Amino acid sequence: MARGRTIEQRLAIHAPPEKVFAALTEPTLLSKWWTDEAEIDPRRGGRYRFAWDGGYEHSGDVLVATPPRLLRLGWRRGRVRTTVTFQIRRARRGALVTLREAGIPAGPRRFEELLGLSVGWMYYLGNLRAVLETGSDLRRPLDKYW
């Protein structure tokens, strides 16, 4: 079990769980709502690499992949290691997506980081919903660096 703080956010999306899982694991779909470039081997033990035009790059391991219900990634920011989990449940009009990032370091000096992560995840999950429901990418050009 990861120690530290946890961010958890839930979002209903009017799209089937299979379509949501595909948007989390297919490089061309990932680049429509989150990254500018993506590589992912969506199976346990697989690797992923996400890159943004502003020069930020992120890579790690796929810890769990159970289509279309669960994707868990080993997440690294410098020396900080967390896990990011996307849980997808069938809902009345589509899917309920729960995002959980666990293991975020605690402490008074980390509050701004926790807040920034929370807002960032909310922003990109909202964009995931917009892309799946309407086909519109709502990111502003300057936001494409995270």
pLDDT tens digits for range 81-131: 999 999 999 998 999 999 999 999 887 777 888 888 899 999 999 999 999
User: What pLDDT is attached to residue 1?
Assistant: 47
Q: Tell me the two tokens of residue 47.
A: 């690797």
What SS3 string covers 81-145? EEEEEEEEEEECCEEEEEEEEEEECCCHHHHHHHHHHHHHHHHHHHHHHHHHHHCCCCCCHHHCC
The CATH code of the domain that includes 84 is 3.30.530.20
Type and span of the H or E element at 18 = helix 17-25
Q: How many domains does the chain have?
A: 1
> Could you read off the pLDDT of 19-44 as tens digits, one per residue?
999 999 999 999 999 999 999 999 99
The predicted model gives 5-30 an average pLDDT of 97
* Residue 4 to residue 92: CA distance in whole angstroms: 34
Checking if the pLDDT of 145 tops 70, the result is no
pLDDT number for residue 144: 54
- Are 139 and 129 contacting, i.e. CB atoms less than 8 angstroms apart? no
* Mean pLDDT of the 59-70 span: 97
Using alpha carbons, list the distances in angstroms from residue 61 to 15, 33, 55, 99.
27, 21, 20, 17
Structural domain that includes position 123 = 5-143
Q: What average pLDDT does range 57-79 have in this prediction? A: 94
pLDDT of residue 80: 85
